[in-house]
Structure 1
Amino acid sequence: MKMLAKWRLLSLFTLMALVLSGCGEPYLSTLRPAGEVAQSQYELMLLSTAIMVGVIAVVTIIFIYVIMKFRRKNDNEIPKQVEGSHKLEILWTVIPILLLLILAVPTVAATFKLADVSPMEKKNAEGKTDALVINVRANLYWWEFEYPNEEIITSQDLVVPTDEKVYFNLKASDVKHSFWIPSVGGKMDTNTDNINKFWLEFDSKGADEAGGLFYGKCAELCGPSHALMDFKVKALPRAEFDQWVAGMQGVKEPVKAETATAQQGQEIFNNSCIGCHAVTPANTAPEAARVGPNLTNFGDRSRVAGVMDMSEENIKKWLEDPEAYKPANKMTGKYAELSEEELDALTEYLMGLKVQK
């Protein structure tokens, strides 16, 4: 009875795992593709799964049939011995080959299609690409997105147009990371010694289902805060994307603080934080000001440090002790202790860094 109870419990957990494996939000699920790349990979996954399930089903049926058909009827009966059957040998050699071909042909075709990044190499008369190209730089533990054609840089929030191919140059600043937007396409490593290239397409229908927002992850173990190395992807119609670009390009100098408290916060920022954080989106910012995330549109974001909801309270928590929320991040140990008044002032200034009106 105890053994039966254990088997029932095991069966229940197995069923729960099967059901839960199909759960997922539209903004963070590989099983709900929202783009051409994701759809292609999803279809290949379904094909391989169908082949595996088919093989298991056929083998199981044959196994049961053989057991029932050729079982020994009595102790004196010896079943007919079959040895060296050419038909069987040909059959179990040809069938796996055919199954491999059925899986290999579309896989290889999709691999070459998804690896075609030639449009990002073609320059026009202005020396720029007609295709949208984004340079992704992975850092411990945040992401930088540079739009070379548009001459702007942002961090943590990747903004892209829908229904067109977006090309990426991927590189890491420190250790190996991996760029992954589960709903839109498979991951690609970011290395320190070479640049990887690939493209994604963000489907407008899928973006609508996800509320125009997807989540990206680092898919390569990179340190203590690997699980917290997230970023957001805002997928916008082309017209709205162009408006966002124009808004970012319009920021030629840091946003000026309006209140006395915010002005005090700006002074604190300029005396310390500016050494690592830029507050203008121009891609001419010195490398020293790219040690930390670009904060030009910090006030427009919905998260602090990529993992905390945007609020004055959470900004203060982060400024007081970043190590508590992202262990081993580069900001840890590099900030001065601030009084409550200074924290309030710096928080107000940071929340005022907005581009979207």
Structure 2
Amino acid sequence: MKNSWTKTKFYMLMSVLAIFLAGCGKENLSALQPAGEIGKQQFFLIVLSISIMLLVVGTVAITFTIAVLKSRRSKVGEAFVPKQVAGNHKLEVIWTTIPIILLIILAIPTVWITFKQADVEDMVTEDGVANKDSVIVNVTAYQYWWEFEYEHEGVVTSQDLVVPTDEKVFFNLKGADVKHSFWIPSAGGKLDTNVDGINSFYLVFDDDKAENADRLFYGKCAELCGPSHALMDFKVNALPREEFDQWLADMKEFEEEGKTADSSDAKEGQEIFNNSCMGCHSVTPTNPGAAGPNLTNFGDRELIAGVLEHNEENLIDWIKDPESIKPDNKMTGAYQLNDDEIEKVAAYLMELKVDKNSGDVEKMKKAIEAEDNDEGGDN
């Protein structure tokens, strides 16, 4: 008996801990630690709905407990007959009106916030064309990766989304094969990506929250889409507007100047890549991959295939046997390369980095010019 009670207490303790742990999460991944306007609104709805639920459950539990305690046989006797309230109009009005009021309290902010989040009027002008003053990202979901195209700049990347902070970022979502769902838990969402239509919405990334999260948030697919659905992740780099503009400029400069491999292995790998992999992948920032992700800035990315630590060893493992890492992916069986060729292609891909120093030179020039102007004004 004692052992049975000990086990019961243990399981009760584990259950309580599991409830609390279910609410734990990282700042860059948890919907309970919102990092933007939409996330905060959705968090408010979560708190509101849970508060109403707890109010109802608490009221019922207290009422039930009082009724049980007051109506104990030892207290009221064997012959006690409770007052019959069936058909009591006052009580019926009360327990009908209160739920209606609670539903209205929940419904009004829910409907208002839902329509507010779907308001993308700022994304287009009165003529119905894309507003050049807005940041618009066209998102295409594939099994099992993401492609991001910046509407006005023509820049295309994959797996790593780069956005400015403290302003609306508009998204046009579509699916390339099956239904997926675009979700950045910390910022807000989620919204389906359909094959037969485009869904649009916006998010705002708070700069202070982004800085606390080291400028990196995590995104996921929230719709079951196949065997590797759980591995269909992407990263979000939330940068101040100046750094975001500089990133776009670096990507465009990369397009103009191209990228030449440095090491001998990488040079051979580039040639192998051009002959074997170019049919599916692109390494220019203005072209989407025909069937696979755009690899322009692959060397700058956070993860390989969205799930592996970004290093050359993991990249070699991915190219050798992608099926063991992401089942049912489209890359399995696409390349017939030997081990030596794979290592050289990996060396080339790891060198695909956008030159971030060019922007620093321009900033330095502007700072010097500003300083000269100030000195001239003082004289």
Give the distance between the partners of 1:322 and 1:78, measured in 2 at CA.
73
Using the size of structure 2 for normalisation, the TM-score is 0.89
Partner of 2:349: 350
Q: Which residue of 1 aligns with 2:250?
A: 247
- Partners of 1:164 and 1:12 in 2: CA distance: 45
In structure 2, what is the equivalent of residue 81 of structure 1? Answer: 84
Pairwise CA distance, 1:82: 2.7
Using a 3 Å threshold, how does the CA distance of structure 1 residues 126 and 178 change in structure 2: closer, same or farther?
Answer: closer
Q: Partner of 2:254: helix, strand, or coil?
A: coil
State the shift of 1:127 in Å: 6.3
2:25 is the counterpart of 1:24: yes
State how far apart, in whole Å, the 2-side matches of 1:78 and 1:193 are: 65
Are 2:132 and 1:133 aligned? no
Instruction: State the Cα distance separating 1:344 from its structure 2 match.
Output: 2.6
Per-residue Cα deviation, 1:28-77 (whole angstroms, up to 9, x for no partner): 10110000000000001101100110111111111112222344422233
Name which of 205, 208, 213 aligns with 1:210. 213
Does structure 1 conserve the Cα–Cα contact (< 8 Å) formed by 2:156 and 2:294? yes
Residue pairs, 1:302-321, within 5 angstroms: 302-321=302-321
Displacement of 1:5 after TM fit?
3.9
**Deviation of 1:21 (Å):** 1.5
User: Counterpart amino acid of 1:26?
Assistant: E
Match of 2:193 in 1: 190
Query: Normalization by structure 1: what TM-score?
Result: 0.94
Aligned-partner residue type, residue 67 of structure 1? V
Structure 2 unaligned runs (5+)? 357-379
Show the counterpart of 1:112.
115
CA distance in 1 between partners of 2:82 and 2:308 (Å): 70
Are 2:268 and 1:264 aligned? yes
Query: Greater shift after overlay, 54-63 or 7-16?
Result: 7-16
Is 1:152–1:249's contact at 8 Å kept on the other side of the alignment?
A: yes
Q: How does 1:326-337 map to 2 (within 5 A)?
A: 326-337=326-337
Counterpart amino acid of residue 120 in structure 1:
M
The letter for the 2-side match of 1:310 is H
Question: 2-side partners of 1:355 and 1:123: how far apart?
Answer: 36
Q: Over residues 196-221 of structure 1, what are the superposed CA-to-partner deviations in whole Å (9 max), with x where a residue is unaligned?
A: 11110001111112110001001111
Aligned residue pairs: how many? 352
| Within-5 A mapping of 1:38-187 | 38-72=39-73, 73-122=76-125, 128-187=131-190
Superposition CA RMSD, Å: 1.7
Per the alignment, residue 35 of structure 1 pairs with 36
Give the C-alpha shift of residue 119 in structure 1. Answer: 1.1
Which piece of structure 1 moves more, 94-103 or 124-133? 124-133
Asked if the contact 2:123–2:130 (Cα under 8 Å) also holds between the matched residues in 1, the reply is: no
CA distance in 2: counterparts of 1:173 and 1:60, whole angstroms: 50
**Which residue is equivalent to 2:325?**
325
Q: How does 1:202-241 map to 2 (within 5 A)?
A: 202-241=205-244
Larger helix percent: 2
Cα pair 1:123 1:129 within 8 Å, conserved: no
The alignment partner of 2:278 has SS state of helix
Pair 123,241 (structure 1): closer, same or farther in 2 beyond 3 Å:
farther
Partner Cα distance (2:132, 2:26) in 1: 34
Query: How far apart, in 2, do the equivalents of 1:79 and 1:259 lie?
Result: 90
